């Protein structure tokens, strides 16, 4: 069981470029969550997806950010026209279903985005 796989681990983008972050959930997990961790801050919820559906995107910035979890393939967090303030660690987590199982999410190791 490879766990939650995120790639790339590190990503450097110039201002105005696009960033694509990928997340493959654990085998058997159908729920994916994206969180952002700014330097010296806690984890902030961004979006919750199931296959082909966005369930809760209340934490996503209104512009430039989008997420998908297609029927086949990994979940993608896309940031268009990146700005320096987007520099952060982006974590993906997965769960087999809702939180009622009591085991919390399983997190990936994150993608560290640096905008120069």
Partner 1 sequence: EDQVTQSPEALRLQEGESSSLNCSYTVSGLRGLFWYRQDPGKGPEFLFTLYSAGEEKEKERLKATLTKKESFLHITAPKPEDSATYLCAVLLQAAGNKLTFGGGTRVLVKP
Residues that bind partner 1 (CB under 8 A): 4, 31, 33, 35, 41-45, 48, 55-56, 58-59, 91, 93, 95, 98-99, 102-110
CB-wise, 43 or 83, nearer to partner 1?
Answer: 43
3-state SS record for 28-71: CCCEEEEEEECCCCCEEEEEEEECCEEEECCCCCCCCEEEECCC
CB of 16 to partner 1, least distance (A): 27
CB-wise, 5 or 76, nearer to partner 1?
Answer: 5
Torsion sign over Cα 9, 97, 46, 54: positive
CA 98/CA 75 separation, integer angstroms: 18
CB-wise, 10 or 27, nearer to partner 1?
Answer: 10
Burial class (CB in 10 A: 0-12, 13-18, 19+), 20: middle
CB of 4 to partner 1, least distance (A): 8
CB of 32 to partner 1, least distance (A): 10
CB-wise, 14 or 58, nearer to partner 1?
Answer: 58
């Amino acid at each position: 069981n490879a766990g939650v796989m995120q790639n790339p681990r590190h990503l450097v983008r110039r201002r105005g470029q696009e960033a694509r972050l990928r997340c493959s959930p654990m085998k058997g997990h159908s729920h994916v969550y994206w969180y952002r961790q700014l330097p010296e801050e806690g984890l902030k919820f961004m979006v919750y997806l199931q296959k082909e559906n966005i369930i809760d995107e209340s934490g996503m910035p209104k512009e430039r950010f989008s997420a998908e979890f297609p029927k086949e393939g990994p979940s993608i967090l896309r940031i268009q026209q990146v700005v320096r303030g987007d520099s952060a660690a982006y974590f993906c987590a997965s769960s087999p279903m809702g939180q009622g199982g009591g085991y919390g999410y399983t997190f990936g190791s994150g993608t560290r985005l640096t905008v120069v």
